[in-house]
Structure 1
Amino acid sequence: MSIVIRDVREHELDSILALNNAAGPTILPLDAARFRKFFDTAEYFRIAERDGTLAGFLVGFGSDADHDSSNFHWFRAHCDRFFYIDRIVVASRRRGGGVGRAFYADAQSYAELRYPLLTCEVFLEHDADPVRLFHGSFGFHEIGQHVMPESGIRASMMSKDMCSYEWVQGTYGDALPDEPWLPRPRASSAVAADA
């Protein structure tokens, strides 16, 4: 019963979108065009599989991304450089089984080499205490609140310092070694950044 986290594949987008839109009130629903934009531009877009079955996904953007989320822009106004977790969704039958923790460990491994802060938001409506506790157990803390103009939902804006970032930057700068275990930006976002 291992959890495998890997980059999303284009043919999986419909299944992942259905998972997103079935997640309930703590995740905003999306249409296919918006989801396709995630695939085309997200720096980090990975899925989790458990026993060969889709168990969840996580989408993230670096602070220089062309991303139109009001929460992302809130962080841009309040933080210099950061990696933003736009959304994490775990299939209801897989919740409580370690998928979320595996995602956050993977996303942190990616972010700490490139950004001084890892950021996310938690909606304060809909019984947010378990979700806030989950994030607190990973070292996140609230740095402010934001009411999203598109939905009127209040969010707790959370961040976590990436303790390895300063050492990695001082040692390697932007020239990280080419190691097979080192998480890389998705090819589509690297192409978009070079364009």
Structure 2
Amino acid sequence: MSIVIRDVREHELDSVLALNNAAGPAILPLDAARLRRFHADAEYFRIAERDGTLAGFLVGFGSRARHDSVNFRWFAERYPDFFYIDRIVVASRRRGGGVGRAFYADVQSYAELRYPQLACEVFLDDGNDPALLFHGSFGFREVGQHVMPGVDGGPGHRAAMLMKELCSYPWVRDTYRGHLPEVPWIVAPRTAAAPVQRATGT
């Protein structure tokens, strides 16, 4: 069956929360309040459906977002303009079935019209070669490492900080000067959280 990627709906947030918190140590846990902040503020918050059931979700923020993630801030302190993948979660029974690749194709098609770079991190505490290989196959490269603060004095997560140049962005920026055509496939996926128009040439 095909994979359908679409905007999350508010009534699905409980299912998204359960999926996130069952994902294991490679994904930071969430509580309901933080997930609702994501729903209110994230520029990109989409789910994948396969066979009519929730197969995964991806949350992303533009570099001008008011986002309190320490990994987001790491990028913001070093790069002026990027789109940040805060988290991608794929249901365990769907891993290896193309959901992650479908998400990355979708989020890149969104980001490359609006941002010059795509950013994310991969936790390194327990190895994680499959995740590094996955991102490398999409053209991400490591630009540094960051150790997140631990909880209650415990050790923090060490993460590889990854970025990908979005080669289409300069042409889009120079051609459309921040005013993209209003056609369905270009419209921001979450109108309420769509980014403000930004100055061109930066």
- TM-score range for the pair, normalised by the shorter chain length: over 0.9
TM superposition shift of 1:160: 0.1
Distance in 1 (CA, whole Å) between partners of 2:185 and 2:193 is: 19
Partner of 1:84: 84
1:153 to 150, 157, 160: 157
TM superposition shift of 1:178: 0.6
Deviations 1:55-81 (A, max 9, x none): 000000000000000000000011110
Partner of 1:132: 132
TM superposition shift of 1:126: 2.1
Distance in 1 (CA, whole Å) between partners of 2:29 and 2:81 is: 27
Deviations 1:127-162 (A, max 9, x none): 310100000000000000001114510000000000
Percent identity over paired residues: 73
What aligned pairs does 1:101-180 form with structure 2 within 5 A after superposition? 101-151=101-151, 152-180=156-184
Say if 2:196 is the partner of 1:188: no
Work out whether residues 109 and 183 of structure 1, in 8 Å CA contact, stay in contact via their aligned partners in 2. Answer: no
> Can you give the 5+ residue segments of structure 1 that lack an aligned partner in the other structure?
none
Work out whether residues 5 and 49 of structure 1, in 8 Å CA contact, stay in contact via their aligned partners in 2. Answer: yes
Would the alpha carbon gap of residues 39 and 150 (structure 1) be closer, same or farther in structure 2, given more than 3 Å must change?
A: farther
Q: The residue matched to 2:67 in structure 1 has which SS?
A: coil
Work out whether residues 7 and 189 of structure 2, in 8 Å CA contact, stay in contact via their aligned partners in 1. Answer: no
Aligned pairs, number: 193
Partner of 2:98: 98
What stretches of structure 1 move > 3 A for 4+ residues in a row?
none
Distance in 2 (CA, whole Å) between partners of 1:145 and 1:78 is: 13
TM-score, L = length of structure 1 = 0.96
Instruction: Judge which range, 13-22 or 173-182, deviates more.
Output: 173-182
Q: What letter is aligned with 2:54? A: L
Q: What letter is aligned with 2:174? A: G
Partner of 1:63: 63
Q: What letter is aligned with 2:34? A: R
Work out whether residues 7 and 45 of structure 1, in 8 Å CA contact, stay in contact via their aligned partners in 2. Answer: yes
Q: What letter is aligned with 1:133? A: L
TM superposition shift of 1:185: 4.4
Distance in 1 (CA, whole Å) between partners of 2:17 and 2:41 is: 16
TM-score, L = length of structure 2 = 0.93
Question: How well do the aligned residues superpose, as a CA RMSD in angstroms?
Answer: 1.4
Q: What letter is aligned with 2:61? A: F
Q: What letter is aligned with 2:192? A: S
Partner of 1:5: 5
Instruction: Judge which range, 121-130 or 40-49, deviates more.
Output: 121-130
Distance in 2 (CA, whole Å) between partners of 1:185 and 1:50 is: 19
Distance in 2 (CA, whole Å) between partners of 1:30 and 1:58 is: 14
